[in-house]
Every structure is written in structure tokens, then in C-alpha cells.
Structure 1
Amino acid sequence: MKQRDFLIVGGGVVGMAVAYGLARAGQGVTVLDESDDALRASRGNAGLVWVQGKGVGMPRYAELSLESAKAWADFAGELTERTGIELEYEQRGGVDLCLDAEEARSRQADYAELQNASRYMAANFRWEYLDREALTSCLPGLGETIPGGTWSPHDGQCNPLYLLRALYAASRALGVETRPATPVERLEATAGGFRATTPQGQFTAERVILAAGLGARQLASGLGLTAAVRPVRGQVLVTERRPPGGRLPTPQIRQTASGGYLIGDTHEDAGLDKGVTLAMMQSLAEKAVRIYPDLEAARLVRSWGALRVMTPDGHPLYETSTTHPGAYNLNCHSGITLAAFHAEGLAEAIRDDRLEQSFPHFSGARLHVSAS
């Protein structure tokens, strides 16, 4: 059997978006993924295609987020055309709420600083701070104690589960071999490329892409890649289905296409514990009612916890190994927003082996972490 061009370790949104992009360009790809009980970051997102808040302190990250958000409509349309799966994608704009006056001042200062640091963002990033009264037109029924929030037309939402399903379907149709329940125990270089050892056997390819989230802590250093990622727990509450509220999405709460409200936006240092806690569930419920008082009558039907993947500075990591050419490491916590970019520009840069030349700001070298 002809050796594949790429092994991708990790079948979440990041790995599958890159697999789809490579396969669309004619590359032979095998994806090795863990079991359903793995620490999957793809479960811990709210389905937001979001520009606000990205890249404060790293303008290039903000630029990538905005570029990817602009490409999302075509990306979603292409996936739906290939698979028949609707992603429930919409881009009507979004609001990032400010829960107190200090947060409002800080947010506006951050965005002004970001636009001052980037000509692209100054010319293209549209946002506006709106007080509570102004927000009620796009967030009907907003609670009286919310002082305001920042609005941007670039923000939107999708169904992240449908996105992942569509990426799998489109990738398989293009010849990608997907291997679920195949956790990688060891990665190593060979004379002709790379080998992954799993309980189900060994897999080889000319090049390897590590998109394993927290799995990088175990697998990255052996190939001279950055292993410095940490888990950040997020907890989520979902209400029963409610009548359409006509409310724009926010990072704190959004109404899904099925009618339920998804409530989240927590960041906890809890190690590898992906459980839920009563205290946080109570806090989320109280915040939801503060934002939309009418939800006090809503029943809660589901809750879960998940572990996001965070680099030391919180920005994406895209790197090529200097000691084992042909090995790449991808890690970020914005897999939904950046999915269009991952399938396009990032996959193209990896295919042409110019990842760090094209995106030097995201190299692991910036983290000053030894990968020996």
C-alpha cells in the first residue's frame, strides 16, 4: 500500500478542518483519533464564529480571526453542498456583554489599542459600544442591571456538532481515512517519514500533524515540538426549547436553532477534571436570569463540562519541528472561528511546507519553551 502523505493525530474540529483542506488539494490523509470518552475540546465550545476579544496583545491573531470569519459563509456553503448537512450558520452580528462599568471601560480601551496596533484591524474591524437601552433592539428583554456591551457585525454562530459531522463526511468523500478509537501512544521519525504506534497497530506517512489538543503534552516533545498546553474547564447549561427570541448571540448566552438557550463562558483551572459543579451551575443560572429575566421560568435540561486547550499566552500555536522536518504542531482554542482558515490558508501552508514562513507570529519559539 502506498504510504500516505499525512498522518493527522486528533480528529476534532482543528484536525478535521486541516484534513479536509489537504484532501481537497489532493493529499492522502489518515486521521487517528481517540475514543468518545477522550478529553475533547470540541465539546467545550458554544458554536460561536467570533471576532471580538481575539488578539488583544497579538494583533495577527485578531487579523486571522476576522479573515476567517469573513470566509465562513463560503466555507459553510461548500461543506453543505458537498454533504447536504446544514451547519445552522448565521452571521447577523453579535454582542459581547459587559456586566459592569469597569468591564465596559476595559473592553473599549482594548479594542482601541488593537486597532491602533493593526492597520488591517483599524480599516476592517467594526465594533461599537452600546448602552443597555441601545442593546434592547438586538437583545429584546435584556435585564435592567446590564450596563451595555460591544456589538460587531462580524460575529455569528453555527452548530458545532453539525460542523464536525460535515467535516468528517466531506473528508471521507475525498478519500481521508479516519480511524476512531485509535489513540496514539508514540510518535517517531523513520527513514521515510513518521510512524504512529497505537493499540490497533502502526501507521506511517511522509509527514505528521499533531492536532491532539491536550495530547500534545505527551506526544509533542519527542518530535521537537512544543508540549506547553494546559486545560481550562468550561461548564455549560442548556434550557428547554423556548420560542424564538430574536436575540443576537453573545459569549455568555445564545439561543440555538432548536430553541434552547446555551449558557456558558466559564474559565476554570481544574486540572483534567471535566465534571460540573453545583456552585458553577448556580452561578451560570443566576447570570442567565440577570441577562434575560424571562428565563427564570425556563427549565434546565442539560449540563456538561469540557476542557479547552490553552497555550501559555492564550494564542494559537502553529509550528514546524526544526529537529524533525515534516512534523507540525497545531493547537488553539478557537477551532470554530478559525475553521475556514484552517481548511484554507493553514492547510495550504502545511502542504507547501511553509508554515512558519507564512505564519511566523504563531511559532512555538515565542513561548520560550524548550522542546528537548
Structure 2
Amino acid sequence: MDADFAIVGGGIVGLSVALGLLDAGQSVVVLDGSDADPKASRGNFGLIWLQGKGVHEPRYARWSKESADLWPGFAANLKEASGVDVGLRQDGGLDLHFNDDSLADAVTEHEALQAELGADYPFEILSPETLSIEEPEIGPKVTSAILHHGDGHVDPLALITALSGAVVAQGGRIIGATSVSDIAARAGAEEGFRLTCADGAEIQAAKVVLAAGLGSAQLGPSLGFAAPLRPERGQILITEKLPPLIRRPSLIARQDRAGGIQIGATNEDVGMDRRVTLDGMAKLAAEAVDAYPVLARAQVLRAWGALRVMSPDGLPIYQESPTCPGAFLISCHSGVTLAAVHATSLPSWLLRRDYAPDLEVFGETRFAA
């Protein structure tokens, strides 16, 4: 065997899981795809975000909250292991509203979640007066905002670098530019799996984790997974470096630690098309200027599109194969938010520990109904 676990996918999800398994004493090899693959992690907005998550499934809200609470310690551990500061800022995030109706709908959702989670779901409604003090650059078109105190953001590219460094420092192997073309359970008395790469190389592992994003939809069925995953394009803009303008992130914009304003993101059902469009960029820019008028003078330096990995109901998928025990599917579109819990609590589920979290609600059986 080359490793106890082979993880297919070297993005934020795969690397977080790998780090957790290494901490649990497992040997791990991570197989990362080629640069041509649609890697969601490379186009991530970098938010640690609880607002609105789990409205129809409180277990998701709790799982996200557990991870958000772990993030300060997780970021510190990553820096110690890799030497990379991921730029965590977690003093709340804003849900901006341009009319009273949208605010009322959001408050109803937040109150429902607070009824389920109690003190674990702290939020407050900011009046225009308070908002202008908290965020002086917010424009008059924004009528109110919801401040959720557990939200925050990181530098997503620094996070990938830190995770990669920590995995290697812990003894894990990362094999880059390696697309997996086939995974098969080993026959006969030999247990485990054989992973065949596009270049013909083979990896043997006792267990395998599919964390390949949209690639899991192609590899999953041979291992007994439905893997009903679809792409959703998100376009993002980033401006020149500016003086401090935005204190807390919102779903419209955030200011990174270098001073650039990241503006996003669209939600588009366009298949595997990652291209940016004039229409998409124009809509993003217009909404950003409505929220922060000062950005009308900012120069946009870059724009890109990336593909989110979406399940039919938008929730994560955690599933062990019903036909190939030891094969696991992990998929979500909130890899940054959930990175901390993926590196701490999730490995006990993969190792079938008695104290493992109950993730049955996130299994694929929910799609069979």
C-alpha cells in the first residue's frame, strides 16, 4: 500500500481532510488534478460565512457554526505548521439590504435559525445610522444590514498554500498535475483500492476519499456513488489596492489585506463555462457601487470565473459507498467555512470512531426520495 488514505482532489476540501487524517496518525497521499481542471478553490471568495446557511436543515447551521468557532485555533495551527498566515479576520460579516421587504425575509430566516441554535446564532439588525458609523463608505441606497458576529474572511490562496505546507510538514504526499482516470476496489483477498492516473501511474491505498469537486461526478458512479453534482459559475472582480474602505465583508464585496476590493459573485447555470462576461461584470460593478459609492472611482484590475460544486439541495454530501466500503465522497460549496471542521471532526467519521459526528442527514439517500 502507498498510503492508508488516497485523497482525490487537492483543493481546500481535500487538503483540509488530509491534514485531519495525518493528525489522526494516518498516512495520506493527495492527488491533485491538472491546472486545466475546474478548481473551485482557485476562484474562492474567501468567506467564513454562517448567515442563511441551514435555513431548511438546522444540522447544516450547527455544522457550519462548529467550524466557524474552530477557525481561530485552526488558523494559528496552520501558521505554526506551514509558516503561512492565512489572514483571518473574523469580527463579523454584513448582509446588506436595499429595501425593507428583503430585510424582513432575511430576519425571518435568522430568527428561525436562532430558535434552533439559541445563543450559538448571534446576530443584530443595524439601522442606517448605526451602519453609517460601522461602515462609513456604505451608500444611501443600503437601507439596513444584518451583522452576524461569527462571520469573517481569509485569503483563499494563502489558505491553499498553508494547507499544502502543513500536509507536507505532517508527512503527507501531494502529487500535483495528476488526474485520476479510474478507481477500482482491489479484487480477491487484498483489500483497498487501485487508483489509475491519466499518465498510467497507479496508487494503492487502503481507503479512498473523493474530494475532487465536479470531477467526483465522473469518478463516483464506479464506486457506487450517485454524485449528483452540478456546476454553478461565479464571476469575481478585483480592484487596485486602495486605502482601508470596507471594515467587514459582505456578500457583495470584501477588502483583502493587500487593499484590493474583491467584488462578487454571480450565480449562473451555464454548465462548465468559466468565462467572464461583460454582462456579469457590469452587474457586479453596479451592485458594488450601489453599496459602496466610493468604488465608482476604483480601477478593476482582474476578473475571473470559477465553478461552484453544487448538490441538488445545496447542502454538503458526506457518504461512504454502499457497495465499496472504505470509499468516501465529500463534497460541498463552502470549503473555506468548513475547512476547520473538516480538519478536526470529520476524520473521526472517516475512521468510524465511536465519537464521530452524526452526518447521516448529509448522505446521498436524501436524493432518493
Relative to the length of structure 1, the TM-score reads: 0.95
Please state whether the residue corresponding to 1:336 is helix, strand or coil. Answer: helix
Please state whether the residue corresponding to 2:208 is helix, strand or coil. Answer: strand
Equivalent residue for 1:131?
127
Once residues 11 and 23 of structure 1 are traced to their aligned partners in structure 2, the CA distance between those partners, rounded to angstroms, is: 15
Once residues 22 and 312 of structure 1 are traced to their aligned partners in structure 2, the CA distance between those partners, rounded to angstroms, is: 28
Moved more, 297-306 or 145-154: 145-154
Once residues 123 and 146 of structure 1 are traced to their aligned partners in structure 2, the CA distance between those partners, rounded to angstroms, is: 28
Equivalent residue for 2:96?
97
Equivalent residue for 1:287?
287
Cα–Cα, structure 1 residues 305 and 31, in superposed 2: closer, same or farther, change >3 Å? same
Please state whether the residue corresponding to 1:151 is helix, strand or coil. Answer: strand
Once residues 73 and 226 of structure 2 are traced to their aligned partners in structure 1, the CA distance between those partners, rounded to angstroms, is: 33
Deviations 1:123-168 (A, max 9, x none): 3100112232221122112110111111011111110111111110
Once residues 209 and 289 of structure 1 are traced to their aligned partners in structure 2, the CA distance between those partners, rounded to angstroms, is: 43
The one-letter code sitting in structure 2 at the alignment partner of 1:67 is E
Once residues 342 and 360 of structure 2 are traced to their aligned partners in structure 1, the CA distance between those partners, rounded to angstroms, is: 16
Measured after TM superposition, the shift of residue 353 of structure 1 is 6.0
| The one of 135, 138, 151 aligned to 1:155 | 151
User: Contact conserved, 1:52 with 1:152, CA < 8 A, in 2?
Assistant: yes
Once residues 143 and 27 of structure 1 are traced to their aligned partners in structure 2, the CA distance between those partners, rounded to angstroms, is: 52
Measured after TM superposition, the shift of residue 24 of structure 1 is 1.5
1:343 and 2:343 equivalent?
A: yes
Once residues 267 and 74 of structure 1 are traced to their aligned partners in structure 2, the CA distance between those partners, rounded to angstroms, is: 32
Measured after TM superposition, the shift of residue 37 of structure 1 is 2.0
Equivalent residue for 1:65?
64
Equivalent residue for 2:139?
143
Runs of 5+ unmatched residues, structure 2 = none
User: Contact conserved, 2:90 with 2:151, CA < 8 A, in 1?
Assistant: yes
Q: What is the number of equivalent residue pairs in this alignment? A: 365
Once residues 129 and 318 of structure 2 are traced to their aligned partners in structure 1, the CA distance between those partners, rounded to angstroms, is: 42
User: Contact conserved, 1:138 with 1:246, CA < 8 A, in 2?
Assistant: no
1:299 and 2:299 equivalent?
A: yes
The one-letter code sitting in structure 2 at the alignment partner of 1:285 is A
TM-align CA RMSD: 1.5
Equivalent residue for 1:193?
192
Measured after TM superposition, the shift of residue 254 of structure 1 is 0.6
Measured after TM superposition, the shift of residue 359 of structure 1 is 1.2
User: Contact conserved, 1:127 with 1:153, CA < 8 A, in 2?
Assistant: yes
Equivalent residue for 1:15?
14
Once residues 199 and 67 of structure 1 are traced to their aligned partners in structure 2, the CA distance between those partners, rounded to angstroms, is: 38
Measured after TM superposition, the shift of residue 352 of structure 1 is 3.0
Once residues 289 and 123 of structure 1 are traced to their aligned partners in structure 2, the CA distance between those partners, rounded to angstroms, is: 35
Relative to the length of structure 2, the TM-score reads: 0.96
Once residues 30 and 7 of structure 2 are traced to their aligned partners in structure 1, the CA distance between those partners, rounded to angstroms, is: 5
Equivalent residue for 1:222?
222
The one-letter code sitting in structure 2 at the alignment partner of 1:288 is A
Equivalent residue for 2:232?
232
Moved more, 10-19 or 170-179: 170-179
User: Contact conserved, 2:184 with 2:222, CA < 8 A, in 1?
Assistant: yes
Runs of 4+ in 1 over 4 A off after TM superposition: 353-357
Moved more, 245-254 or 294-303: 245-254
Once residues 353 and 320 of structure 1 are traced to their aligned partners in structure 2, the CA distance between those partners, rounded to angstroms, is: 14
Please state whether the residue corresponding to 2:110 is helix, strand or coil. Answer: helix
Please state whether the residue corresponding to 2:318 is helix, strand or coil. Answer: strand
Equivalent residue for 2:247?
247
The one-letter code sitting in structure 2 at the alignment partner of 1:122 is G
Measured after TM superposition, the shift of residue 6 of structure 1 is 0.4
Measured after TM superposition, the shift of residue 355 of structure 1 is 10
Please state whether the residue corresponding to 1:71 is helix, strand or coil. Answer: helix
Equivalent residue for 1:179?
175
User: Contact conserved, 1:22 with 1:347, CA < 8 A, in 2?
Assistant: yes
Equivalent residue for 1:76?
75
User: Contact conserved, 1:320 with 1:355, CA < 8 A, in 2?
Assistant: no
Measured after TM superposition, the shift of residue 45 of structure 1 is 1.9
Deviations 1:15-49 (A, max 9, x none): 00000111112111111111112101112321111
Superposition map of 1:103-118 within 5 A = 103-116=102-115, 118=116
Once residues 336 and 354 of structure 1 are traced to their aligned partners in structure 2, the CA distance between those partners, rounded to angstroms, is: 27
Please state whether the residue corresponding to 2:233 is helix, strand or coil. Answer: strand
Once residues 229 and 339 of structure 1 are traced to their aligned partners in structure 2, the CA distance between those partners, rounded to angstroms, is: 20
Equivalent residue for 1:52?
51
Cα–Cα, structure 1 residues 354 and 363, in superposed 2: closer, same or farther, change >3 Å? farther
Once residues 265 and 56 of structure 2 are traced to their aligned partners in structure 1, the CA distance between those partners, rounded to angstroms, is: 21
Once residues 6 and 353 of structure 1 are traced to their aligned partners in structure 2, the CA distance between those partners, rounded to angstroms, is: 16
Please state whether the residue corresponding to 1:165 is helix, strand or coil. Answer: helix
Please state whether the residue corresponding to 2:335 is helix, strand or coil. Answer: coil
